[in-house]
Structure 1
Amino acid sequence: MKVLITGSHGQVGHCLVERLNKREDIDVVAYDRDVLDITNKEQVQAVIAELMPNVIINAAAHTAVDKAESDVEPSFAINRDGPMNLAMAAESVGALLLHISTDYVFDGSKTEPYSESDTTGPQGVYGKSKLAGELAVQEHCSKYAILRTAWVFGEHGNNFVKTMLRLGADRPELGIIGDQFGGPTYAGDIADALITMMDKFAVADNDLSGVYHYSGAPHVSWYEFAKEIFFAADKYSVLKSTPLVNEITADQYPLPAPRPANSRLNCSKIESVFGIVPSDWKLALNNIAEYK
């Protein structure tokens, strides 16, 4: 099986490459945007026509949420046009397209975890561009899976865990938002989920195409997540001393882009179809020494 990974230098892309390179039954082709610009329709079509991959995993995205509010055109180019180009090219060669999306497609006003069938309503440019990418994949590709996830972290790339460790090393006290809730999700677990889905698609008797939710458990606030990060940092002696963490509201820390107050995702569908359970993010913090 030949698998093309886009966005190979990102958090999830890096993990995908590491895992798939260990499999003898997989021929991995991994490109970042310095080699394959997914916003370039002609280049995407030419590369995929030459490679003839069985599976395309799109881990490329414009994820700078606040910057997206002013960089509207680049956000939509990467998050909408890129997936559309990949979907059209995948369809032309009969490839499966696995595409990563986000909790930001919801407005966060629901009190319960979001299911795949819930009405979307992104608040900011990032969420709007990612939703447009989802719709493009569904319109142009007949064999696909869209994986919505949230609060991604890992050893590679920039994320909340690394930010906390950096700030915690310099400051004795931090104020962290306590009224936004979600499921932290380990990038390695997302990669594992995508690989499981890919393998199941290869042998499934029926069409598994659709939207799936995958994130971590238990659900927590950013404040609670930060407390667990520093608990792990103290346990494994990652920092000389851990800071005092104070709980604040989102109103006390205004940002250019609005964030959903509720980013909790209902992951029962992916468990029932693929047997994939939520990411154990607390377990993933046991290797926190590798996040620096």
Structure 2
Amino acid sequence: MITQNDIDTILSGRGHVLDSHGSKIGSIGQVYLDDQTQDPSWVTVKTGLFGTSESFAPLQGANVNGNDVTIGYTKDQVKDAPRIESDGALSPEEEDRLYRHYGLSGHTAGVAGTTDDTGRDFLETDTTRTTGTGTSGYESGFQAGDERLDRRDKPGTVGHDTSGPTTDDAMTRSEEQLHVGTERREAGRARLRKYVVTENVTKTVPVTHEEVRVEREPITDANRGDALDGPSISEEEHEVVLHAERPVVEKEAVPVERVRLDKETVTAQETVTEEVRKEKIELLDADGTDLDGTTNGTDRRTQ
């Protein structure tokens, strides 16, 4: 359960509202207090581009985790909540709509003493306002339980800012800027490994061999002497040696190339998306009425 002791943490300006599944819904905007118990009752959730949309979410059964608030409702329930301007106290009709949307009971709309004023104070992280119904808010720099002081009539005191107890006649508007750099880290490793494979190589090589053939020549005057040399009738044998070539295989390991590891730097474009916060300044009259439209960071003229 969230109590007044958690207000400083909630309004630190760095927290988000998480749904019942732990998913981020949006950043914390304002916190509304119950007028009887002074305990946090509602929180507004900034969603949309640059947090331009705010939705009300109940803090019943919510928990604080660091700078974040975890509520017992889903992201869709919060985003589908009735559209209510978070510029002051809730009217009875607005509170009724919220209670009906979230299925809550025990709301105070219609209770005696709550006419045009619901009796709920609100806390916000952007600016301190005084609304026409008499409710006033804290800036995120106040501590829980700080006395709400009206310094408008004190000499030399103009306003209150998070930078100190009092300020001069100017209000400082700040915003976050996104600075993107790079860091070098190990992304992986590569190595060379040599191993042996076996493959079949086929080559054709010419080979020769000798074959025997019979040559016959007639008896002539030139060879008659050789023919008559020896006995007239006899038995003889003559033989010749035949030769043949066969393939002879020899293997030799020879170097064919050298392989080494090298590195090259490749540049790619990577898009980074991040949320940044900025302060806005608005011009209000004594009744809390907006005198002009808001222009980010520019001066605003009075009517």
TM-score bracket for this pair, using the shorter chain length:
under 0.3
Could you say which structure has the greater relative contact order, defined with CA pairs below 8 angstroms and 6 or more residues apart?
Answer: 1
**By percentage of residues, which structure has more helix?**
1
TM-score, length of structure 2 as denominator length: 0.24
